[in-house]
Structure 1
Amino acid sequence: MAFAAFPFRAVLIGVVSLGLACSDKPEPKPPPPPVEPWDGTYTPLVEPSDWVDRGAFASCSYTPPTGTNVDCDDPTLFDLSKCDLASLATLDPHGIYQVDMRDTAGQPDAVGLRVPPDGGTGTMSSLYFVGHPLVRQQLQGSFQFSVKVPRRTSFRQMVLAGCGVSGPGTVTGCFAHCNNGKFIASGTFEAARMTWGRGESESSGGLRLVSETHVQTRRPADVFVHRKHAYVVSIDDFDTKAPGGLSVVDVSDPSHPVIKKSITIPGDSYWNAAWAKDDALYIASKATGVIVFDISNPADPVFVRSLPTGAPINVHTLFVDGNRLYAVSPAPAVTGETLIFDISSPLEPVLLNRLVTPDEVSWVPSAHDSFAYQDRLYVNQFSTGYVVFDVKDAQNPRQLGRYTFSVDGREPLSHASAVGTFAGKTIAFEGGEGSGTHLRVLDVTDPANIQLIGRYKLRPQTSIHNVILKDTLLYIAYYHEGLRVLDVSNPTQPREVAYFNTYRESDPGRTDDLLDGAIGIRVPGDGYVYLVDLARGLLILNEP
């Protein structure tokens, strides 16, 4: 997940386990239509970038000339004469919206809005400020919001005015930015309420909730399942200062999980990823790198050490492949790095190398995640793109190729991937993180000539987080869109076959963040899907 641009926020809650009855078998689902076997042929697609310019969203405008001194939050400065303002009366007086913005020059931006159901002060978040209290909030009958964000020597304002309801849960309108009382930019927006999209029900394709367990804080980030225990890691709560940490959940009976232990280390509790091998549990720590626990007793992890030795680093994600552990660090190295460990002795990792991806195309490089497959390492370098290395010899890794794009200055936001073999070709399923990001299917057989061959995208206001490939099914933790399961037997045509909507506005701890909802996922092959939702905790579903 993103580590800087979109900080997470959470509220500490009690540790509760909720078991749901699962004695009834799910109703049989009709078989999907047959899929013709893929023969490996395709027509390469043109890269459209993450954010696709759909043109102006509304027929309104902000009237002052750019650069003039104004009271930015004066509603009369918007020309709404061509709008269907009456349609705004259909809106509920509360809700959470993600807002896709386009300025008059055709450049994108995004904010989140939350108006609580109790009528209290709502919040707005953007790339530049998080959870800032609203100065103006008018919802139902109108759609007007504004924030005033102080800076060190200035203040910034953002103002939105609705023009009309364009569809279920969707509002279009205009916005304006001001800095120190001077109007600097304006444009139009499309705001989507983060209820279940496309008129969907809670689930489809035979997926059903087996149990739900609240863990540690309301910001759990990842899960790994090993020896009938789920190891759920959480990140710190920036608002309440409540720490994250590790929750050990006995899932020997998936319908009645039991929290066996919770661990937090003072000053070291922003734990973003987990992986286990034999008697070792590895935790990605923002403060101290890779933390190693002894889990010879799976319910009672015992701290062993933190790695690497020397200056502490921020490790964000982990991947284990055979006797290799890959730990991806976005900082403090300028471009980030991937640490390669030998874990032949799982409790005694040996550092083999620190792999740095040369920054060739981006002004904000950052190693974020990795996937190892057949002696290659696929590194999500976030705004530098998707980079492929030959790591057969860990002492001498070689960069083989890179997939990236830049359209009108918009950088890629490569975040996570899964790789497999289809029709004799090596295929990567790569997902971005950020407004407008989506799933790309890439032919990486020749890393020097990576081709885009397929795509899957839901609402432009939502973001993917993690992906898991199991045989020909791809499982996606898709934040506000919940769990999505795709049949990728023909990678050029990813086909959704099941979903489970985890996101509910009423869940305690929901925020206006773009990155809220389903975040972590594992499919260990025991017949269940283990899904982490930032507010709801650990959800166990049956495999579809």
Structure 2
Amino acid sequence: MVTAVAVSAVLAGTFAADAFDDEPRVASPVPEARCGPGSRPEGDLQGRVPKADYTSGRAARGYLCNTRQVGHYGGTGGFKTLRYVDRTGRVCAYYDSDPIMPRDILGGVLEDGLGVVALDMSDPERPRRTANLMTPAMVAPHESLMVHQRRGLLIAVMGTLGTAPGFVDIYDVSGDCRRPKLLSTFPSVLFGHESGLSPDGRTFWAAGAAGGNLTALDISNPRRPKIVFNENGHIYHGLRFSADGRTMYVANIGSPGTGGILSGGGLHIYDVSQVQERRPDPEVRKLSELTWPEVSIPQSAEPFTVDGHQYVLEVDEFIDLFTFESLGRFRTAPVGAARIIDVDDPRNPEIVSDIRLEVHQPRLRTDDLFRDPGNVSPAQGYAAHYCSVPERKDPGLAACSMILSGLRVFDIRDPERPREVAYFNKPKLPSPGLLPEVGSYAMSRPAWDVRNKQVWYTDVHTGFYAVRLTNGVGRLLGE
């Protein structure tokens, strides 16, 4: 996430698209979900919670489509929601409770505590907090929190509004996930913000954004991490990897240029095999780069396969604010939302479809839409933030946190024709307080409990949710 304060700095710009063909691809919304029994569907544009629904009391009931709430905990949330099963079979969730330090401390300290929250999810209907991790990176992990299932490691790099000095914390969660054990904490990188973790769990990558650093740590010995690659000059967000760890998919925020404060955002693909092989003085080679007309702030690109073909689900956060065309006019700025990109040939990636809602479409973003509670800030609003898939191979579904529109679930079995199949949205209602925030603020990368057909996520305003997929939607997992 590039926050409302940070967007005023170079860290958080957005970008002008590069030159495109004479007839560019037109990004369209996906088909709306067909809501079955037990649903409370939206009654306006796909993804919208209009002001009239707050006035009538409709928003207080929430919006459900082929979902139901299983469990809930706390009153704050952040940028990552993780699920982990330890070697005894215990199930835990982890999430960052105060996404924007120090602003969110006031909202979360009384109910959730500070830092990264550990929940015992043995009974998903009754999540139970068992720990708050308070070491430097866990107090302010920004978007970097990662867990590796096989190695049992929970990792983050410190990052705040200005992407703070990069302390990296590594915890062992393999023995008892309810009570993580600190293995190391050290200022291992220059700056933190987002991150990546190789599939074998032996290389942790930090993207410093404002610091411009791209750093790889060898965590083969998690008590003594060491830098094996560092390069400056990159304004990068999420870092994700092919199954063999040799190809890196980078959400490129952009770089200073004539198109605006930052321009040229999109997807960069790198060969990182020399880092993966631990060669001395490794070289990281760019294989390709790709952008799109409606680019905003690229956040991450999650790899998956369908019938053996390689794809990434790329998601942009927020809107494009800082190209010269959009500067100061966030109501008309592009909304990046998400897209599926074919990366069978990493040197020639190709967008095959878009994942957007009607509220993301420029022609529908009217003045009336911007009277909706929560849509007055470019750091909230009708846009996307994170997406995830339940597994790499033939995942069937994808889930996205789409801020004011809540949690959205999509059928991606045909990557060229994604469609919405479910959603869950519980807006915060107006209330007295120091921070009278309203509406949903769904920001976290969702986690999956495939066996129980559940999706877990957090909302900055209202906490952690375990949501069950109903009316047959859960059966699409893994198809």
Interval of TM-score (by shorter of Structure 1 and Structure 2): 0.3 to 0.5
Q: Which structure has more RCO (C-alpha within 8 Å, separation ≥ 6)?
A: 2
Scaled by the length of structure 1, the TM-score of the pair is: 0.43
Q: Which has the larger radius of gyration?
A: 1
**Structure (1/2) with the larger helix percentage:** 2
Scaled by the length of structure 2, the TM-score of the pair is: 0.48
**Structure (1/2) with the larger strand percentage:** 1
